[in-house]
Amino acid sequence: MSRFVHPTKEDITLAGVLGALGDPMRLKILKKLLERRHGHLSCSEAAPCTEMAKSTLSHHFRILRDAGLIRTTKQGVENLNSVRWDDLNERFPGLLAVIMKFQL
């Protein structure tokens, strides 16, 4: 029964957010999640490609979670992930919207 640790909105830092997004895989994961802004995706649904190690994927989700970019809840056998859109937009207005515009 692993409970996920999420930083409070106030504890989200700019360097943390940018650092977490400074990786092509994590950018792709966030883009997939952002496409359904208030929806949820399991880790494997949000994976940028299928031939990547589960542990690697888990690692990247952890980094996104620790930076405050996503919220993870366990539902049955899956983890459901969603972007913390409102928190992020209050903390850093416009940031995610701009990043989301660009390709890759």
Partner DNA sequence: TCTTATAGTTCAGTATTATTGAACTATAGA
Partner DNA sequence: TCTATAGTTCAATAATACTGAACTATAAGA
Binding site for a copy of itself (CB under 8 A): 13-24, 27, 92-95, 98-99, 101-102, 104
Q: Which of 104, 87, 103 is nearest to 7 (CA)?
A: 87
- Closest distance of CB 40 from DNA, Å: 10
What the block records as the tokens of 90 is 């209050």
Q: Is 64 exposed, middle or buried (0-12, 13-18, 19+ CB in 10 A)?
A: buried
Minimum gap (Å) between residue 30 Cβ and DNA: 14
**Lookup result for tokens 């539902």:** 75
Q: Is there binding between residue 36 and DNA (CB under 7 A)? A: no
User: 37, 59, 90, 97: which one contacts DNA (CB under 7 A)?
Assistant: 59
Nearer of residues 14 and 97 to DNA, judged by Cβ: 14
- Of 9 and 59, nearer to DNA (C-beta) is 59
Q: Which residues contact 18 (CB under 8 A, 6 or more apart)?
A: none
